[in-house]
Structure formats: C-alpha cells, structure tokens
Amino acid sequence: MGSLSDLLINIPAVLIALTFHEYAHGIVAYRLGDPTPKYQGRLTLNPMAHLDPLGTLLLIFARFGWAKPVQVNPLNFQGDRVRGMMIVALAGPFTNIVLAYLGGLFLGLMDRGMIPANLIFWKFGISFIWINLVLAVFNLIPVPPLDGSKILAGLIPRGTAMYIYRMEQYGPLILMLLIITGVTGAILGPVVSALVRIIFLATGVSYM
C-alpha cells in the first residue's frame, strides 16, 4: 500500500486516468452517432459518473483496475459498426497514453528547471504516468470485456471475430483467472516499464 502520502498522491492520479478513459469512449461513440453515452450521463469529466468501486480500489492498491464501462449501441453508428466499435474501444487506452506523455512533459520541464522542482509534484507525475500506462495496457489485453477484445475483433476477419463476441459471457471469468494466476502482472510489468522508459526518453526526463 505504501505510505499515506503515496496513497493521497495515487488517488487523484487514478481519478483522472479513469475519468478521461471512459469519457473518451463516450465522446467518440457519441461523435460516431450513438446517443447512448449522452443519455446515461457519461459525457462528463465528473469522476463520480465513471467510477467502479472495485476497479478503482484495485487500481489504487494493486496497480491494475477498471472503471464503469460506457454502454454503447453500435447499431446507431454511422458507417461500419465493427470498425466503429474498434475506434471507440481504442479511444480509452489511447487517451491514457496521451495523458502519460503529458505527465512526462511536465516532469521534463521540472527536470530541466523550467518550472520549480517539488517532490510532491514529482511523485505525482511519476504515479500519473504509471497509472495511465497500466490502465492503457491492461485494457488492451484481448479478453472480453476489455477494450483489447473489441480492437482485435475489428482487425481480424468478421467470421473469426464472432468467436470473440461469443466468448464475452466467459470473459470476466477468464480475466479473473488471469489476474489470480499472475498472468496479467507478468504482462503489465515489462510492457509498462518499457513504455515508461520510452516516455522518459521522449520527454527528456533523466530520472529512471
């Protein structure tokens, strides 16, 4: 769990990461023609509209988690529905990666003395980058109901994609088994660490 100060730093980082992730899903679906997220009050940056209690606590303490999924009706999409779902699914992880990059830019400015150095802000920036990247990578795992399954369904032949949709009823169980057995941790650790290093290099952060 770390210290109380670490916890207080992690909480706002988690709230921002989860809120922007789900808002991105909702606004992209809305722009593609589906009013469902708007009717359900998900086109907002108010964290209370997006938080899942268990997923939020896990992200704070276990460094992986999820928010309350945005409900989308692809029948309302203009154009290709499968492609639309893929774009909507990709919007959440992509937004988290962008946020992590912005966090890197903030630390880079501090590292070069362009903004005053502050230990609390530094620790927040590190936590902000890690949490956003963990949320992005975790959701890219191609197991329903995670975003990765919908992205994969949009990339493979339609006939094969049907097997992914049929697996949705078993997805949560499969995902829980992956978490309990440590498979998700084995995936998240190396991938997130590599992405953190890439962002540090890209934004000029010297601390590793």
* Residues forming the active site: 22
100-111 pLDDT tens trace: 999 999 999 988
**Does residue 208 fall inside a structural domain?**
no
pTM, to two decimals: 0.89
For residue range 153-184, list pLDDT tens digits in order: 888 887 777 777 777 777 778 878 888 888 88
- Domain range for 47 is 4-203
124: in domain? yes
CB within 8 A of 123, min separation 6: which ones? 5, 6, 9
In the predicted structure, residue 1 carries a pLDDT above the cut 50: no
Asked if the structure places residue 122 within a domain, the reply is: yes
- Mean residue pLDDT of the chain comes to 88
- pLDDT of res. 9: 86
Q: How many domains does the chain have?
A: 1
Whether 100 maps to a domain, the answer reads: yes
How do residues 29-38 score in pLDDT, each as one tens digit? Answer: 999 999 999 9
Q: Is the pLDDT reported for residue 64 higher than 70? A: no
